[in-house]
Structure 1
Amino acid sequence: MRVKSFSIFLFLLIIFSCNDSESEYGRDFEEIDRLITEMVSQGQELSDALDTIAHQYIDHINRYDSLRETADFSKYTFTRAYSTNLPGEDSALSSVMILNTTPDRDRALEEAAATNFLDSLFSRFQKSFPLVVQVYSNSANQVSRVYPAFDHKNIVEPNLDVKDFNFYYAADEINNPSKGIVWIQDAYIDPAGKGWILSLIHPVYQGEKLFAVLGADFTVDDFIYEYFDRYPGDYLLVNGKGDIIGGEDGAIELLSMPALKNHVYRETVKSESFRISDFNLFNSKSLEVRKMAQEFLLNKKDRFEFEEEKGINKAICKMVPGIDWYLIQIFPEQ
C-alpha cells in the first residue's frame, strides 16, 4: 500500500508541477499577446487611413475629364524628369517626377496637373501619422508623386520603370486580384539612415484599369519602440529570416550578438557600418541561440528553455498576424 500511495503522490506531484509550469507560461503569454494586439491595432488604424485616401483617389480619378479641364498646370514646373521645387521650400508641395520611361510625356504632364489634389490628402495623412516617412503615388504612366518633397534629382534615376519595383507590382492585377490594401512583407534598411522601413500599398483603379499604386512608408523604429518602452521585459522583433528588426538592448546583448553602437540598437542600425547579417539570430555566436531561432522560426515552437547559455532562463515567441514577423521575449536568470 505504501508503494502504491507513493506512486500516486509522485504522479500528482508531476501533474501539479506541469500545471505550475503551464500557468507560468500562460502569464508570460498574456503579456506578449497584449503587446502584439496593440501593435496590430495601430497597424490596422494606419491601414484604414490609407484605404480612405485610396478611395478618395479612386473617386477623383473616375472623374478624370473634369479634373483635366480644371487642372492647375502652373503649380509645378519641370526640368526634364523632375519638378523644380526644392525640399523644405514649400511644405504643401510634393516631389513630382515624370520618368523617361513614360510612353506619353504630354499625357503624363496632364496627369501630374490633374492629380494635384493628392498633395493635401498626403499632407493630412502624414500629420495624422508622424511615423510615416513618406506617402506617394506611382502611376502606370510613370508619374511619381512623393510627399514630403525630397532631393529627388539626386536620388531617383530618371530612366527607372516603377512597374519593376515591388511597391508597384505587389499591388497589380496579377499579384493582388482582390484590389485591396497590401503590406510589403520584407522590411528594408533605409539608405538615408532612418532604420528599418516597411511599406503599405493600395491599387487605384480607373474603371477596370490600374491607374496607379498608392503607398506609405513608415519607420519600424518609431512603430515598435513606442510599445517596447511601455512594456517591462526584454523583447525582440525579428523577421522570418532571423534578422533583428528591433529589440531591447539588454535582450540583444544576452543573445551574444555583436557589440552595439553607443549601447543602443536603433543607433547601430542607423550607423554606416551596420550590416544586417551581423544581427541575425542564426549568426549568433551562441549555439543555443541559433537553436532557439530554429525552434521559433522554422519549427514554429512558441517556447524555448536555455540550459547552458549564461544569464538566460527561457524565451517565448509569438508570430505577428498578417506579416512574417516574430515577437520574442527573453527571460534572464533571476
Structure 2
Amino acid sequence: MDELPGNDHLNELIQEMEQEILVLNEEIISLKTYYEWILENKEELLKKADKSKYTLVGSFSNNALDENGDLSKIILSTKTPDYQKSYDELLFTNILDSAFKAVYKKHPIIAQVYSNSAMQVSRVYPPYDAQNLMDPDIDLPTFNFYYEGDEEHNPSKGPIWIPEVYVDPAGKGWIMSLVQPVYEGEKLSAVLGIDITVEEILHRFLEVEDGNFLIVNGKGDIVSGNSSAIEALSLPPLKNHIYRETIRSDNFRISDYNLFNSKSRQVREMANAFLLKKEEKFLFEEENNLSDAIAADFDFTDWYLIEINPPKDVE
C-alpha cells in the first residue's frame, strides 16, 4: 500500500484490521484442503458414517442451537438434484463439524463457518434457527456466497473476499464473507465460507477510536462506521443514533448509506475524489460542521478507510 501523507494513523488502523482479517485466508485454505481429502476418501467415510448424528425434519436438522456444541445446522434443500446423493454427502462430510468449530473458536471475529454444496447441502457452524429463517426450497448456487466462488467469478480458485456487505439469510445481520471453492477434479463440489459481521468490525476497530471514521467499499456503500461520522455526512437518521442498531433493523437499506446518495453536494464530491479520482485529502468549503477528510485504501479488498474531521475550535 502506498503511504499517504498525513494519514499514518489510518494506515496503522488498516494494517491492524488486515492482520486480523487476512489470517482467515489461511484458515479457509486449510479447510479446503481438508474438504478435498474428504472427497478423495468419501466412499470409506460413508461406510463409517454415524447416521444417527443428525435427524432431519423435512429439509432441516433438528439439533439444539448450542454455540458450544459439536453440531452444525444442516439444510438439505428441496432443490437437490438427487436426494440420496445429497444425503450421502451429508453423511461423509459430517467430520467437517469439528474443523468448523475449531476455526470458529480460534477467532473471535468470526460469526460463522459454513459450506454450501452443488448438491444443495448447507452446513453452518454454530447452528442457527434455520427452520424459521430459511426456505426449505433455498437454491444455494443463486446466492453470492456460492456463485462468487464458482469458476466464472473466481477462475483462480483461491480465497476471495466479497467486497459488498449483504444481509445474511441465516440471521446474522449485515455481513461480509470470505469464500473458497472446493473442486473434485474439474467439478465444483462446494463453496466454503467464513463470515464477519459489520457489527463486529465496528465494535473491534472503530468504536474504540477517538475520531469520526468510516469504512466504505468502492461503490461508496458504508461497510462500517461510527455514528458521529455517519450523522455528519447528511445521510439518513440512525436508529437509536447507533449504526449497530440501524443495521439490525428490518428497514435498513444499504443504498441509503452510500456516500454518493448523501444530501450534501460536498459529501458526494468527497466520494468522487476518494473513490474515483483516488485523491488523498478533501477540503470542505460549504459544510459548517466539517473541515476536511483523509482516506487510505485497503489491500485485501476494495475498501477505503476515511476519517472525517470537524473544524478546529477557535481560540
TM normalised by structure 1 equals: 0.85
- Worse overlay, 294-303 or 226-235: 226-235
Q: 1 CA distance for matches of 2:106 and 2:178?
A: 16
Counterpart in the other structure of 1:100: 78
Counterpart in the other structure of 2:39: 61
Counterpart in the other structure of 2:258: 280
Kindly tell me: are residues 45 and 94 of structure 1, through their superposed partners in 2, closer, same or farther at Cα, counting changes over 3 Å?
A: same
Q: Does 1:265 align with 2:258?
A: no
Counterpart in the other structure of 2:160: 182
Runs of at least 5 residues in structure 1 that lack an aligned partner in the other structure: 1-24
Q: Does 1:299 align with 2:290?
A: no
Q: Does 1:252 align with 2:225?
A: no
Question: How many residue pairs are counted as aligned between the two chains?
Answer: 310
Q: Deviations over 1:68-93 (max 9, x none)?
A: 11111111122232222242398211
Q: 1 CA distance for matches of 2:187 and 2:168?
A: 32
Counterpart in the other structure of 1:168: 146
- Worse overlay, 222-231 or 188-197: 188-197
Contact 1:249 1:264 in 2 (8 A): yes
Kindly tell me: are residues 210 and 314 of structure 1, through their superposed partners in 2, closer, same or farther at Cα, counting changes over 3 Å?
A: same
Q: Percent same amino acid at aligned positions?
A: 47
Kindly tell me: are residues 176 and 253 of structure 1, through their superposed partners in 2, closer, same or farther at Cα, counting changes over 3 Å?
A: closer
Q: 1 CA distance for matches of 2:181 and 2:20?
A: 22
2:88 aligned to which of 83, 90, 110 = 110
Q: 1 CA distance for matches of 2:197 and 2:119?
A: 28
SS across alignment from 2:35: helix
Contact 1:98 1:142 in 2 (8 A): yes
Deviation at 1:45, TM superposition (A): 0.9
Q: 2 CA distance for matches of 1:265 and 1:89?
A: 26
The one-letter code matched in structure 1 to 2:13 is: L
The one-letter code matched in structure 2 to 1:242 is: G
Counterpart in the other structure of 1:74: 52
- Worse overlay, 220-229 or 313-322: 220-229
CA RMSD across the alignment: 2.2
Q: Does 1:131 align with 2:120?
A: no
Q: 2 CA distance for matches of 1:151 and 1:226?
A: 26
Q: Does 1:122 align with 2:62?
A: no
Counting only pairs closer than 5 Å after superposition, residues 168-247 of structure 1 correspond to structure 2 as: 168-190=146-168, 194-247=172-225
Deviation at 1:122, TM superposition (A): 0.9
Contact 2:134 2:169 in 1 (8 A): no
Bigger Rg over Cα: 1
The one-letter code matched in structure 2 to 1:140 is: A
Q: Deviations over 1:193-225 (max 9, x none)?
A: 744200111111223332211111211221243
Q: Does 1:91 align with 2:69?
A: yes
Contact 1:235 1:248 in 2 (8 A): yes
SS across alignment from 1:160: coil
The one-letter code matched in structure 2 to 1:261 is: K
Contact 2:67 2:126 in 1 (8 A): no
Q: 2 CA distance for matches of 1:328 and 1:27?
A: 14
Kindly tell me: are residues 228 and 273 of structure 1, through their superposed partners in 2, closer, same or farther at Cα, counting changes over 3 Å?
A: same
Q: 2 CA distance for matches of 1:192 and 1:136?
A: 11
The one-letter code matched in structure 2 to 1:99 is: S
Deviation at 1:31, TM superposition (A): 0.9
Q: Does 1:34 align with 2:2?
A: no
Q: Deviations over 1:15-56 (max 9, x none)?
A: xxxxxxxxxx96631111111111111111122112212211
Q: 2 CA distance for matches of 1:107 and 1:72?
A: 16
Higher relative CO (Cα under 8 Å, sequence separation at least 6) belongs to 2
SS across alignment from 1:185: coil
- Worse overlay, 32-41 or 163-172: 163-172
More helix per residue: 1 or 2? Answer: 1
Q: Deviations over 1:238-270 (max 9, x none)?
A: 122222222122222222233333332222222
Runs of at least 5 residues in structure 2 that lack an aligned partner in the other structure: none
Contact 1:122 1:135 in 2 (8 A): yes
SS across alignment from 1:172: coil
Q: 2 CA distance for matches of 1:89 and 1:301?
A: 45
SS across alignment from 1:131: coil
SS across alignment from 1:307: coil
Q: 1 CA distance for matches of 2:113 and 2:246?
A: 26
Q: Deviations over 1:277-331 (max 9, x none)?
A: 3322222222211211121122222211111211222111122223222111112
